[in-house]
Structure 1
Amino acid sequence: MTRRTGLPRIAIVGGGIGGLAAAAFLRREGFDSTVYEQASRLGEVGAGLVVAPNAARQLRKLGVLDALRERAVQLDTGWEFRRWQDGTVLSAENLADACERRYGEQTYTAHRADLLRVIEALVPPENIVLGHKCVAVEPGARPRLRFADRQAVEADVVIGADGVHSVVRGALFGATPATYSGLCAFRALVPAEEAPGFARRPAQTLWIGPGHHLVHYPVSSGEQVNLVAFAPAGDYTMESWTATATVEEFLAEFAEWDGRLVDLIRAGGTPGRWALLDRAPLSHWSEGGTTLLGDAAHPMFPFFAQNDPLVANGWIYDYDPDVALGRTALA
């Protein structure tokens, strides 16, 4: 990387969506940065996600929204809640008619890899250093990063975008383990040709039932249906995007649910499974030349989406974990 005279040296720990987006926005404003990622390559890790209007606006600023739209799915319907026993629609939001009028952008669903790919394209390859696992940070006026291979670099600014197990966070505020929530998530990608028609629609659908809920929506130009479900974890504590469960374990959590949903789960093949972790909020997440971003600063459960209350199409729904997990009976 060539540094322009007088500009700070900026190091970003973590090459996920947050870390690469930070590098892209810094470059847009005329600042060079180097992203240090522990993986040997940026690959297909993860599955689907929702790109809400506020995120779409940022992607438009970066000039990559049109590129993402080539693989993303624009939603016509969002927050379509269905009853677990029979699929009765309890409520739904018409995004096709109101979303752009209210927020200036549409809402999309996408595979994480597709989103990562369009953002990565904005960062010069020489500014992304792969295979560098950060194991320690010495904060200060010029923080020093130490890596597993014993290399070390100094920077004027360090941005910790290294997730819920953030080494940067530990250096700033003390290394403490994340808290197990007692919940776990299952995920799967179903080929569109094997998914029922209701799951292929451009809709984000949430099935609500006793102690569980399940979400599905199309991704990858409608070629796949992303499926993610939440259930009590029991003694399961593994937190890893590469961990898997069996189809039978997944089905056991939803055995009494609408048969169409059971068929959808079965069509997804071997599912991923991970325990949901949490951390107590920080009063601040910057000290000196070091700051935190994303899950390193404020990890949140996937079903919290973007805010503590759920926000959909201008309406604010106060979030109640009992309702979200289906513990409250639905009329």
Structure 2
Amino acid sequence: MALAGREIAVIGAGIGGLAAATALAQRRARVTVFERAPALGEVGAGLQVAPNGVAVLEALGMRDAAEARAGLPRGIELRDHRSDRIVARVPLGPTSVARYGRPYWHFHRADLLALLAEAAREAGVELRLGTAITQVAETAQGLRVVPEAGPEHAAEIVVGADGIRSRLRADWLEGQSPRFTGHVAWRGLVDAARLGAPGLAEVARVTVGPRRHLVTYPLRGGRQVNFVAVEERASWTAEGWMEADDPANLRRAFADWGGPAADLLEGVEETFLWGLFDHPPLPRWVTGRIALLGDACHPMLPYLAQGATMALEDAWVLAAELDVAETPERGLLAYEARRAPRAGRVQRASARNGRIFHLRPGMRDAAHLGLRAVSAAAPGLLTGRFDWLFGADVVSDRATG
């Protein structure tokens, strides 16, 4: 089934939705993207794209444009919150290119969204911003996409890239309500010039302590540092998913931390807080000619930094399978068959990392001792733990490393 001339609707203009729209349109499908927000972007948010995601950006023809906006960290460091001592280090930079054939990139989310939107428009995608979809209905002629206002849209295939609160999942795919994980996250950006520790603007750091951890990494040429600070809590009662919060609350939660982590938190002028949610694995991602991708079907906890990259992988595989299948239904089922096992494995690994980050003192000390020993004696072993993840290449369907 060639995609040329097929009418496809994508609901959601996030990373996965825009990448899917571009991949489909480059195969000559007629693609319309519906996004409820009036403009693209996100306040104070960075994201990481590992080599397996860079493979998709390359295949979409975005390598040069993306590289110009990307940050290139030298490595990822795991540090102890008390001493700031390095527990383990995974080299990136040239090591990533040598091992996986591609770099590891950091982006401001708004920058990557802008690049994807430009690529989508160049491929002929129609973007309808400020358009909330209230219903997708089946008719004898196909699918009907019904917005809150304006004319209905007819489509042969509908892709739900509308996030963890996906309306399409709730209506069509037996999705359960998201559940609170017991973790909340503060997020924001700090001007690197305000920091007393310039090293924060050179590498990605994960500083870990009991029931808390802090992730920092550079953005926009090291001019900004993105942070995500996670704390365990018994409940989450705020109505919104991203609440403006007083930076003093963030500093209070990490008051006993010192070193560069304390320097960064002291420099925070604006932050947002939200609860981290997930939902049980879906029994299926596809029904008929309707499919989900990204957070709509497999929300990732942030502890492997793979949310954006998994959405990019989904987008490429969806378009590739539809383009060679005999029917849209078979193409979507082939997409689910290829993606569900890998996405599930990444979900489980991300949750496991969260537990490791938050180990209590006795267990943490033993774990850190072991990591230091391995890092000193055989640093390649730590890097090799990520081969299954970073070395995957859904474009050529092979693995490297």
TM-score (structure 1 length as normaliser): 0.90
2:14 counterpart of 1:16? yes
Contact 1:75/1:106 (8 A) holds in 2: no
2:54 counterpart of 1:39? no
Secondary structure of the 2:222 match is coil
Paired residue type of 1:24: T
Measure the CA separation in 2 of the matches of 1:233 and 1:220.
32
Contact 1:139/1:172 (8 A) holds in 2: no
Residue correspondences, number: 322
Contact 2:175/2:282 (8 A) holds in 1: no
2:73 counterpart of 1:75? yes
Paired residue type of 2:5: L
Measure the CA separation in 1 of the matches of 2:78 and 2:71.
19
Measure the CA separation in 1 of the matches of 2:15 and 2:54.
14
Paired residue type of 2:144: R
- What does the per-residue CA deviation read over 1:226-270, in whole Å, with 9 as the maximum and x for residues that have no partner? 011111234333375642111111011111012431221121212
Q: 1:241 to 1:176 in 2, by over 3 A?
A: closer
| Counterpart for residue 284 of structure 2 | 284
Contact 2:160/2:292 (8 A) holds in 1: yes
From 20, 27, 31, give the equivalent of 1:29: 27
2:95 counterpart of 1:98? yes
Contact 1:11/1:157 (8 A) holds in 2: yes
Measure the CA separation in 1 of the matches of 2:283 and 2:7.
27
2:124 counterpart of 1:128? no
Secondary structure of the 1:110 match is strand
Paired residue type of 1:280: P
TM-score (structure 2 length as normaliser): 0.75
- What does the per-residue CA deviation read over 1:117-165, in whole Å, with 9 as the maximum and x for residues that have no partner? 1111112287000111112222477222222226422210000000001
Flag structure 1 segments of 5+ consecutive residues without an equivalent.
Answer: none
| Counterpart for residue 365 of structure 2 | 330
| Counterpart for residue 201 of structure 2 | 200
- What does the per-residue CA deviation read over 1:79-138, in whole Å, with 9 as the maximum and x for residues that have no partner? x10001120000001223421121110111111111111111112287000111112222
Contact 1:213/1:229 (8 A) holds in 2: yes
Contact 2:71/2:218 (8 A) holds in 1: yes
Hey, which of these two has a bigger chunk of helix by percent? Answer: 2
Measure the CA separation in 1 of the matches of 2:358 and 2:224.
26
- What does the per-residue CA deviation read over 1:200-244, in whole Å, with 9 as the maximum and x for residues that have no partner? 11x111001000111001001211000111112343333756421
Moved over 4 A (4+): 239-242, 307-311
Name whichever of 235-244 and 158-167 sits farther off.
235-244
Task: Using the TM superposition, give the Cα deviation of residue 172 of structure 1 relative to its aligned residue in structure 2, in angstroms.
Answer: 1.2
Name whichever of 104-113 and 169-178 sits farther off.
169-178
Name whichever of 274-283 and 97-106 sits farther off.
97-106
Contact 1:95/1:106 (8 A) holds in 2: yes
Measure the CA separation in 1 of the matches of 2:32 and 2:189.
33
Measure the CA separation in 1 of the matches of 2:63 and 2:190.
25
Q: RMSD of the TM alignment (CA)?
A: 2.5
Structure 1 segment 42-57 matched on structure 2, within 5 A: 42-45=40-43, 47-57=45-55
Secondary structure of the 2:13 match is coil
Task: Using the TM superposition, give the Cα deviation of residue 309 of structure 1 relative to its aligned residue in structure 2, in angstroms.
Answer: 6.7
Q: 1:143 to 1:253 in 2, by over 3 A?
A: same
Secondary structure of the 1:122 match is helix
Flag structure 2 segments of 5+ consecutive residues without an equivalent.
Answer: 307-342, 367-401
Paired residue type of 1:62: L
Q: 1:27 to 1:239 in 2, by over 3 A?
A: farther
Q: 1:46 to 1:292 in 2, by over 3 A?
A: farther
Task: Using the TM superposition, give the Cα deviation of residue 48 of structure 1 relative to its aligned residue in structure 2, in angstroms.
Answer: 0.8
Identity, % of aligned pairs? 34
Task: Using the TM superposition, give the Cα deviation of residue 5 of structure 1 relative to its aligned residue in structure 2, in angstroms.
Answer: 11
Paired residue type of 2:30: D
